[in-house]
Amino acid sequence: MDSPAPVRILTVCTGNICRSPVAERLLQAGLNQVLPGGFVVASAGTRAMVGDPMQPISADIVSTFGGDPGNFAARQLTPKILRGVDLVLTMTSGHRGEVLQLDASLLKRTFTIREFARMLDVLDERAAASEGEPVPGTSDGGNPLAANHAFWRGLPARAAAVRHLSLPADSSENDIIDPYRRAPEVYRQMEDELAPAIVSILRHARLNAPVAGTRAGSV
């Protein structure tokens, strides 16, 4: 019997050397702790510096937060890379539009990473208020990997349903600043914008990590 497929997450920026690699490697490191083998996180760029490693300051940020910046090479975003992805997290609203130009079927599974994180914060607040009632439709049949995949396949729709409760005061708050060829201080701003979003996503994953014989979403 085939093993359940891991949840496939793609992070997207422009050059695929500054922002999306940081999101990729830190999400992968954190999700590996939540459920080993449950997630595969990758990244690509809409105008990628193909083959280049991530920028040194980005690599330092990844290392500082416990990720592995090694063996990275930038990739150009293509329809083939998007095929079969469960969730696309872009660094700006513009990147989201470029993803959808390549594959319009991803409309309901593509978000900027900051807006997605805010939606998950709303879902977590609601779950806390309801004493962690189980999310319907995520029975795992005793298989945590299958339950995890089912949970994350349904997550974009649940997140989008609370979008109206998580709108920012300014639409620019959906975007992560591009630090390429800019001062180290701009990389720190990128870190300050990106890190809270990653923390929110990892927190939601931990709160809803499936346990064999239970339902994903139970606590």
Say if strands 7-13 and 87-90 run parallel, antiparallel, or are unpaired. Answer: parallel
Q: CA separation (Å) from 6 to 62, 144, 149?
A: 23, 11, 6
- CB neighbours of residue 185 within 10 Å: 9
Q: In this structure, what token pair is assigned to residue 17? A: 């050397």
Among 13, 96, 175, 215, the one annotated catalytic: 13
What is the rounded distance in angstroms from the CA atom of residue 57 to the CA atom of residue 136? 42
Q: Which helix (H) or strand (E) holds 207?
A: helix 184-207
Determine the pLDDT at residue 167.
87
Compute, in degrees rounded to 10, the torsion defined by CA atoms 57, 60, 66, 67.
60
pLDDT per residue, tens digit, the chain (219 aa), is: 456 789 999 999 999 999 999 999 999 999 999 999 999 999 999 999 999 999 999 999 999 999 999 999 999 999 999 999 999 999 999 999 999 999 999 999 999 999 999 999 999 999 888 865 555 444 445 689 999 999 999 999 999 999 999 988 888 889 999 999 999 999 999 999 999 999 999 999 999 998 654 444 432
Write down the catalytic residue from 8, 52, 75, 124: 124
pLDDT at 3: 66
| Catalytic entry in 18, 19, 96, 175 | 19
Residue 88, H or E segment: strand 87-90
Q: What is the pLDDT of residue 161?
A: 94
Give me Rg for the CA atoms of the chain.
17
pTM check: above 0.85: yes
19 is catalytic: yes
